[in-house]
């Protein structure tokens, strides 16, 4: 995952990242009625099932908060108790996702970290006892639901005379519930299970492990989950994500470059926690390759995995492919079978590395050496499984990626830079042909800015390209159009490569936008309707390039949710993903023409500004149309990012419509409408029957509309 330096402090959370509010809604209306002509006699390549995919990586608790049901943090005791290292404490994660600490019960001196014979990892807590006074540890901040069942287990060993009690209490210590009492412990680590039903609701419950008596006891690992978890996952978020037919989820990101998959398989209690140097956070390795594959099965999507091409090597990558896809008779397949998964997962999509072009990547090598590394990885991985689809970690040539010392020469004049030492995509095409099927691209953007080419040319060599962005004022319509313009810029860049490497067309080399996000919402409030408008235009633009744009993965998959420890709901971003992913995959785009061209670009072409404005010739509306997979419906997306109703006349060529039509409309009372857990939704999707003639529609202000018109057969 790549986020520009200017926004590194923003957090990936339950839906959105912060960016300030922008200008009020665009109000202009064309002098004549807007006409959209839909022509089914010129169909395009069908929409891929994978254009509404999702990306996920271990950043803080992005996977363990909304997806994984585990309630306890640091359950295998990576950190010492008490943790007095202020630098370590400061690296506990992003806002809203910080890890909870274990704290001493009784004197801190009674706790020692055993590094001689730890249960797992480098250390395990040993608690010294002193008669009747409880000594031990506790963790607060847990949420409970009255009447809900919970289950857990703990690994303990102790000396003769030690007694242990495990309990849970709310804010009032008198509400304590004893979960387990042990009057005698084995000298060897033993697993003890417990379960209980919460007597009351709690938002700050405390889980406590204490001992009395003589000697000492050791804690190996501990776990607490709601009993209704599904193979360790939260049933509420699983149910919501199943509603979004994403097609695939990609596991990758910066974390991949220092990730050892070997430590993330087998019994979860015995997997050592490790430190993620990419995001400066501990990870428990509880969600590994097996869990990711099972998660994808639960939500009905295809898994896509990035292998470690930072500190990793081709041998470990090939073994990972064999672990996931090999028969149980192969060495790695046999290991998978011993871990409880005898059947191969058959994972088709694999990505070599993650943003190898970035200076922030752990184990980064220069372009010419990474080309050799990629080829070695590809050959080793395909030797294990020749059927896999390999995606190279590219970066298309654009002004914003020119190294500082070369900006004066190449910014605004990129023609001579194709195939250079900073043209990663071009060099993959030149040096790695035959060792990939598609090429990845990543982009991130936020509103209220634009890339200034002239400013970039004159930046000192030691200044980052981020300094070439100017702050600008945007109308709501310009705000909503901005990420769609980036999609079109990427399409223009890809078409430039196709012209230079015509074999791409023959082989049908595809583009996978493996990571993207528009940080246009408010982190504290959650994804809003204004951001949903922008994503709808973004989707319309992606669907105009189905001949090569066949995969896209949004950052993060969990950004479609608003959640807390006990409940969740789809936010406005989730609603718009659901609308599009339930209607367009497999559909056949039809030609859209109109009588109202989009305005000419306000600024010169740049990484975020195409040569022509994105969108359909139906300004200020944005229209996309396609025949459904079975050709029984004409499906039309219409986005109105103005504060006025807009009349739209439809003209049809090559088809007739019949029967009642259906409208799915997402709108709300204002641009900042949000949907939050425990609150009445402010933005909703309403399904209705279209009563007016399909040839004459009125498009509601600040609305996202998907029409399903039955086609006369």
Q: What is the mean pLDDT of residues 538-554?
A: 97
pLDDT of 295 over the 60 cut: yes
pLDDT of 402 over the 80 cut: yes
pLDDT of 467 over the 50 cut: yes
- Residue range 239-261, pLDDT digits in tens: 999 999 999 999 999 999 999 99
pLDDT at 551: 98
- Among residues 49, 11, 1, 148, the alpha carbon closest in space to that of 526 is found at 11
β-partners of residue 634 are: 627, 709
- Residue range 637-667, pLDDT digits in tens: 999 999 999 999 999 999 888 878 999 999 9
Strand-strand pairing, 696-699 and 646-653? antiparallel
Q: What is the mean pLDDT of residues 23-30?
A: 39
The DSSP 8-state label assigned to residue 101 in this structure reads P
Q: At what angle do helices 424-431 and 476-500 cross, to 10 degrees?
A: 30
Please tell me the least confidently modeled range out of 261-275, 425-439, 457-471. Answer: 457-471
pLDDT of 17 over the 80 cut: no
Which CATH architecture fits 5-66+231-594? Alpha-Beta Barrel (3.20)
- Residue range 100-134, pLDDT digits in tens: 899 999 999 999 999 999 999 999 999 999 999 99
pLDDT at 19: 29
Q: Which band of pLDDT confidence, cut at 50, 70 and 90, is reported for residue 172?
A: low
pLDDT at 289: 97
pLDDT at 99: 84
Dig out the tokens for 633 from the structure: 């419906």
Dig out the tokens for 667 from the structure: 């709108």
- Residue range 601-624, pLDDT digits in tens: 989 888 999 999 999 999 999 999
Q: Which band of pLDDT confidence, cut at 50, 70 and 90, is reported for residue 176?
A: confident
pLDDT at 97: 65
Per the CB < 8 A criterion, the answer to whether 534 and 575 are in contact is no
Kindly report the length of the chain. Answer: 713
pLDDT at 51: 97
Per the CB < 8 A criterion, the answer to whether 651 and 623 are in contact is no
pLDDT of 217 over the 90 cut: yes
Per the CB < 8 A criterion, the answer to whether 532 and 665 are in contact is no
Strand-strand pairing, 696-699 and 124-128? unpaired
- Residue range 360-392, pLDDT digits in tens: 999 999 999 999 999 999 999 999 999 999 999
Q: What is the mean pLDDT of residues 198-219?
A: 95
Q: What is the mean pLDDT of residues 539-565?
A: 96
The DSSP 8-state label assigned to residue 560 in this structure reads G
pLDDT of 685 over the 90 cut: yes
Say what percent of the chain tops pLDDT 70: 92
Per the CB < 8 A criterion, the answer to whether 468 and 400 are in contact is yes
pLDDT at 171: 66
Could you state, in order of their start, the residue ranges of all structural domains in the chain?
A: 5-66+231-594, 95-226
Average pLDDT of the chain to the nearest whole number: 91
- Among residues 434, 335, 441, the alpha carbon closest in space to that of 2 is found at 441
pLDDT at 42: 87
pLDDT at 80: 95
Please tell me the distance from the alpha carbon of residue 539 to that of residue 534, in angstroms, as a whole number. 9
CA atoms within 13 A on the CB side of 355: 23
pLDDT of 350 over the 80 cut: yes
Question: 31: cis peptide before it, omega within 30°?
Answer: no
The DSSP 8-state label assigned to residue 11 in this structure reads -
Helix (DSSP H) and strand (DSSP E) numbers for the chain: 13, 34
Asked if the domains at 5-66+231-594 and 95-226 fall in one CATH topology, the answer is no
Helical residues (DSSP H) of 501-614, grouped into ranges: 503-507, 529-542, 572-581
Cβ contacts of 159 within 8 Å, gap of 6 or more: 185, 187, 214, 215, 216, 217
- Residue range 32-90, pLDDT digits in tens: 789 999 999 989 999 999 999 999 999 888 899 999 999 999 999 999 998 876 444 44
pLDDT at 139: 96
**What CATH number has the domain spanning 95-226?**
2.60.120.260
pLDDT of 4 over the 60 cut: no
pLDDT of 521 over the 80 cut: no
Instruction: Compute how many other C-beta atoms are within 10 angstroms of the C-beta atom of residue 632.
Output: 11
pLDDT of 523 over the 80 cut: no
Q: Which band of pLDDT confidence, cut at 50, 70 and 90, is reported for residue 165?
A: very high
pLDDT of 3 over the 60 cut: no
Please tell me the distance from the alpha carbon of residue 633 to that of residue 659, in angstroms, as a whole number. 11
Phi, psi values for residue 561, rounded to 5°: -115, 145
């Amino acid at each position: 995952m790549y986020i520009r330096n200017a926004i590194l402090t923003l957090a990936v959370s339950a839906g959105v990242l912060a960016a300030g509010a922008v200008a009020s809604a665009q109000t202009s209306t064309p002098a004549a009625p807007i006409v959209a002509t839909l022509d089914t006699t010129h169909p395009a390549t069908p929409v891929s099932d994978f254009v509404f995919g999702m990306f996920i990586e271990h950043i803080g608790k992005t996977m363990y908060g909304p997806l994984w049901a585990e309630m306890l943090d640091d359950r295998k005791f990576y950190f010492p108790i008490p943790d007095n290292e202020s630098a370590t404490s400061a690296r506990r994660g992003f806002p809203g996702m910080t890890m909870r600490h274990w704290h001493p019960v009784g004197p801190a001196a009674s706790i020692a970290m055993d590094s001689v014979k730890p249960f797992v990892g480098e250390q395990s807590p040993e608690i010294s006892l002193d008669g009747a006074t409880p000594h031990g540890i506790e963790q607060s901040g847990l949420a409970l639901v009255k009447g809900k069942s919970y289950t857990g287990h703990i690994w303990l060993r102790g000396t003769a005379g030690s007694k242990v009690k495990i309990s849970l209490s709310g804010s009032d210590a008198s509400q304590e519930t004893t979960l387990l009492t042990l009057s005698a412990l084995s000298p060897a680590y033993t697993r003890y299970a417990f379960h209980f039903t919460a007597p009351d609701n709690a938002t700050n419950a405390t889980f406590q492990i204490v001992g009395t008596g003589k000697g000492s006891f050791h804690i190996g690992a501990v776990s607490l989950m709601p009993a209704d978890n599904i193979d360790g996952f939260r049933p509420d978020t699983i149910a919501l994500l199943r509603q979004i037919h994403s097609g695939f989820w990609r596991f990758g990101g910066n974390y991949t470059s220092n990730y050892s998959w070997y430590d993330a398989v087998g019994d979860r209690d015995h997997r050592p926690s490790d430190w993620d140097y990419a995001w400066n956070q501990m990870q428990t390795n509880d969600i590994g390759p097996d869990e990711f594959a099972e998660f994808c099965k639960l939500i009905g999507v295809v898994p896509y995995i990035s292998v470690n091409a930072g500190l990793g090597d081709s041998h470990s990558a090939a073994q990972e492919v064999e672990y996931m896809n090999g028969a149980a008779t192969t060495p790695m397949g046999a290991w998978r079978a011993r871990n409880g998964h005898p059947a191969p997962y058959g994972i088709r999509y694999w990505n070599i590395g993650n943003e190898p072009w970035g200076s922030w990547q752990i184990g980064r090598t220069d372009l010419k050496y990474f080309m050799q590394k990629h080829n070695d990885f590809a050959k080793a991985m395909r030797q294990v499984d020749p059927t896999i689809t390999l995606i190279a970690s590219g970066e298309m040539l654009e002004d914003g990626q020119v190294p500082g010392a070369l900006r004066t020469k190449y910014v605004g004049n990129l023609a001579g830079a194709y195939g250079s030492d900073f043209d990663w995509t071009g060099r993959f095409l030149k040096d790695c042909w035959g060792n990939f099927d598609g090429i990845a691209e990543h982009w991130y953007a936020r509103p209220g800015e634009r890339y200034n080419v002239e400013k970039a040319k004159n930046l000192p060599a030691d200044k980052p390209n981020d300094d070439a962005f100017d702050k600008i004022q945007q109308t709501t319509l310009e705000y909503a159009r901005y990420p769609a313009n980036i999609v079109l810029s990427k399409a223009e860049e890809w078409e430039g490569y196709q012209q230079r490497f015509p074999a791409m067309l023959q082989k049908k080399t595809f583009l996978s936008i493996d990571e993207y996000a528009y940080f246009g919402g408010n982190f504290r409030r959650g994804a809003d309707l204004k951001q949903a408008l922008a994503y709808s235009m973004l989707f319309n633009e992606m669907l105009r390039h189905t001949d090569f744009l066949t995969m896209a993965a949004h950052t993060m998959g969990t950004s479609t949710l608003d959640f807390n420890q006990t409940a969740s709901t789809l936010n406005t971003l989730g609603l718009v993903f659901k609308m599009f992913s339930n209607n367009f995959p497999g559909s056949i785009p039809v030609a859209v023409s109109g009588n109202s061209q989009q305005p000419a670009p306000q600024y010169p072409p740049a990484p975020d500004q195409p040569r022509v404005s994105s969108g359909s010739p139906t300004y200020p509306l944005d229209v996309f149309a396609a025949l459904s997979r079975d050709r029984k419906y004409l499906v039309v997306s219409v986005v109105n990012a103005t504060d006025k109703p807009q009349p739209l006349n439809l003209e049809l060529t090559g088809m007739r419509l019949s029967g009642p039509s259906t409208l799915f409309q997402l709108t709300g009372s204002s641009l900042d409408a949000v949907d939050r857990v425990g609150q009445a939704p402010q933005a909703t999707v309403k399904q209705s029957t279209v009563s007016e003639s399909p040839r004459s529609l009125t498009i509601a202000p600040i609305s996202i509309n998907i029409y399903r018109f039955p086609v006369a057969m």
